[in-house]
A and B are shown apart, each in its own frame.
Chain A
Amino acid sequence: MRLLENGFRKRRGKIVRRVLAVAAYAVAVGTGADAQTYNLFGGPGLIETPTAEAFPDGELGATFAFFDRTSRANVTFQVLPRVSATVRVSTQPEVAMGPRISDEGYDVQFQLLKEGRFTPALALGFRDLLGDGPFGGEYLVATKTVLPGVKLSAGIGWGNLGAAGGFGNVFGLNVRPGPTALGGELQEDTYFQGENAFFGGISWDTPVRGVTLKAEISSAEEIPGDGNDDIGVNFGLTFAPSDRFSVAAYLLDGETFAGTFSLSGNPFKPIGPPDLGTGPVPVLKRADDAPRSTAWVSPENVDKVLTGLGTVLEPDGIVIEAARLTGTTAELEIRNTRIQREPKAIGRVARILAVGLPPSVETFRITLVENGLAITTAVIQRSDLEAQVDKPLAGLENWQTTRLLNARAGLTGEDVWQGTRPPRFFWFFNPTLPINFLDADDGIDPDLQLRLGAGYRLARGLTVSGEISRFLVGFDQIEDDEVPPPTGSLPPVRSNLDAFLSGRDVELERLTADFVFKPRPDLYGRITAGVLERLYHGVSTEVLWAPINSPLSFGAEVNYAALRDFDSLFGTQDFDTVTAFGSVYWDTGYKGFELQLDVGEYLAGDFGGTLSLTRRFNNGWRARAFVTRTEASFADFGEGSFDKGFEVTIPLGWALPFESKSEARLDFLPNENDGGARLKIAGRLNERIRDLDRASLRDQWHAVWQ
């Protein structure tokens, strides 16, 4: 018996390894076929069943589905051309006619083959990959276009997708064990086990614009455990008036109506034309016999030239903070307030310098300054610029000849021309949409919170600023004596968040003094003190070593934090702690992916690490997923087993027909649990500099000529 069990284990291990191998293949290969519609689980598919299609690369879609007593909210991201991932919260009866419960799920689909002329697309997928929930299932599905607009799909499913019309497991693993790992963890001992079943269907893009008809045979069990294991026959209609919005109506099993609506956006398809407005100044090569004398250099002439340059750059939102002009070199520290792609700002400055400076000036050193921190210097030779302008490969050639350096802390000396420093007083207003996706009680819980902030710059790098907030929509406020006790032995460092959101209409989110500095060109420092976040006072210190020409950078952070009082603005409770982290940041160089690993001691004293994977698109979109594992036990952590989350940052320039550096961030928040909880500090160093590191500039360098 033991031998037999071991045999099964080995076999399961082989299957899982092979599955992971083909999944890795899907990650590595190129583009896939584009899907048009979402199914009820938010993935590419028909009605309940999946198809082997993929959405366009980078596509972000939200699907809301309603039927019977079930509602689902799904957010799907096409991580790579052939890999999509879905985060879902669903609320449905636990058993037929039983009370409704909420459940979260994480799905992933790998397109193994794209559709060929004679061959179908093929995809492997997992539903509820990390969960112990009722919809867990695996599938292999093929899709082929058989006539213009007509696609056929057929597949085999396990788990929930093998529940209706099931037959003996094709691998001989007929018993699917219950969840073998805690909720939130991989259930690798259950995948592809138990009965399997066939499913399939057809979709037809009708001649009526935006209308797609669908029919399918579904092997999925709509309400797990309801005893109904009949094969489902479903019909439906999807109407997509645009490629960003669609609605659908379905008839499930001839008796249940279902409806969905979907919203989607794609970083590569901006809503507004991104390049409206004036073009850059044309560059003309200096005449070969142009006088190169530096006799023109005098304080008066330098002031006149730089004042003129500042005036010309102003319409593009570029401000010269300081400059030094010699007979052969122009050094400028600039603040780009409006242009979303930094190379475009660099290029516009270089063009203006090439047009406006006397012929003797050959070297341009353009330093980008963000919030008082000089970050990166681009060194451009004027003769290179003149030789490259208008050429077909000018973007590449300019990238190859431009030197990027870690900027010095600032220009110093008596010959430095002082330009326009940023206004001392500043303010900002920021609506946020925090969406608590993993609320076990309420399911999806969208809120709308308004944040208003203001600050005062005391000196370069030294700022005092604060933020207040108010919820306009959502959030059930509770009294502090209603806060549930912590589930485990960890101190309540984050689980008592709800109590901090009660009592006042307007909350003080943050009030800090921040000092950022550069001891040397590639080393950054930050000290932040005051009300660090909604729950903590304290002091935060950080250093970051970020050589510009290295894909790796390293940081360290030490914080002292004291728990704020529930009711009084500046009071504290009887809890304080010291947290410390070491961080590694790695630009993988692959499709804009960056990895970040933070290791250290979290607020509750638990030791562990957070791994973040961010995909940065060249137009400013960012999608970040992260997981945190610490020594906190499941009992200490509670639902979900460990902290995980997903967030998307969308530059508003993507949606507006003019340049803007403003952004909107959608947070799909993780559990507010005590394990793996970290201080939420605004303006960590990597956030301040990452748009100006070599990788980000390289990805956007085509814009240097725009």
Chain B
Amino acid sequence: MRAVLALLLGLAACSSDSSGEIRTALVERFRPGQAEAEPAAAAPAPLTRAAIEATGQAMLRARLVNETGRSVFAAQTANRGYVTYQSQFGQFLTLQTTLVTASRGAGFDLLAVSATPQDPLVSPRPVAEWPNSVPRVYRFAGQGPLGREVPVICRYEIGDVVEIEIVERRYRGPEVREICEGSGVAFTNLLFADESTGFVWRSRQWLGPDQGRIDIEVLEPFG
């Protein structure tokens, strides 16, 4: 990949508007910190429950499944039930309750997701009351104002009850496999739903065929 990009960079048409940006961005992308010599930042302090509560904000912690680092996202806006969270690196996630409906800046944007009010990630309720299946439409960059639409049907497989910890808080509930298929794609989301409320505190959700899944922990829910 790096060799290909280096070759392309060598061949790239450039101009007084763009050449510096291209080089800087490429260096920054693949040799982080070496584009400009800057002192190494101090290691971040470990996240504590007290620190989360002190912010008074809804917060998430998220990690792309094929990467190692986790980022904390803080709620920035809420519009008609859609809450947008921002990381310190300028990446954004929009969630409708606990369903990821958009991502920005992570590589391949998930433009939007349409879900129904019956969707248990949108309207939490005990797992026993979840419908057998729900429809969704995922939207990605494509031709036209709506982009490329990928309708899927998702069904559920309820697993064992387990206990998890998210920054000093413990939750108990079943692991649920959300199996989605349609439009030539198939993927499985993993959900941890609270035993009594069905609220999904932790999940691995699909962001698209190119982006893969994201692992999300709800540190402090919105509202």
Contact = CB atoms under 8 A, between A and B. Distances in A.
A400 B145 CA distance: 9
Contacts of B39: none
B13 A664 contact: yes
B187 interface: no
A224 interface: no
A619 B143 CA distance: 9
A655 interface: yes
A279 B91 contact: yes
A277 interface: yes
Interface in B20-57: 21-22, 25-26, 29
A652 B11 CA distance: 10
B145 A701 contact: yes
Given A427-B15, A662-B14, A284 B77 contact: yes
B130 interface: no
Given A271-B4, A658-B25, A663 B13 contact: yes
B114 A275 contact: no
B29 A390 contact: no
Among B8, B13, B137, B142, find the residue whose CB has the most chain A CB atoms closer than 10 A.
B13
Interface residues of B, number: 54
B12 A662 contact: yes
- Specify the main secondary structure of chain B where it touches its partner: mixed
Nearest to A319: B17
A429 B146 contact: no
B210 interface: yes
Contact of A702 (B5, B90, B104, B111): B111
A448 to B, nearest CB: 9
Contacts of B147: 395, 702
B86 interface: yes
B143 A699 contact: yes
A429 B14 CA distance: 5
Contact of B112 (A272, A275, A392): A392
Interface in B72-90: 76-80, 82, 84, 86, 89-90
Contacts of B21: 317, 338, 658, 660
B216 interface: no
B90 A277 contact: yes
B16 A423 contact: yes
A284 B111 contact: no
B1 to A, nearest CB: 8
Contacts of A392: 101, 112-115, 137, 139
Contacts of A704: 145
Given A273-B108, A425-B16, A656 B5 contact: yes
Nearest to A386: B79
B123 to A, nearest CB: 16
A279 B92 CA distance: 6
Contacts of B146: 393, 395-396, 702
A657 B105 CA distance: 11
12 contacts: A274-B108, A285-B79, A390-B101, A390-B102, A396-B146, A399-B145, A425-B16, A426-B15, A428-B15, A656-B12, A660-B21, A702-B142
Given A275-B107, A657-B29, A662-B22, 15 more contacts: A271-B8, A272-B5, A278-B91, A280-B92, A284-B78, A391-B80, A395-B146, A429-B14, A657-B5, A662-B14, A663-B13, A698-B144, A701-B144, A702-B144, A706-B104
Interface of A: 271-280, 282-285, 317, 337-338, 386, 389-396, 398-400, 423, 425-431, 591-592, 618-619, 652, 655-658, 660-664, 698-699, 701-706
In the A-B complex, the 10 residue pairs with the closest CB atoms: A279-B104, A278-B90, A273-B107, A702-B147, A390-B82, A399-B145, A428-B15, A392-B114, A279-B92, A279-B105
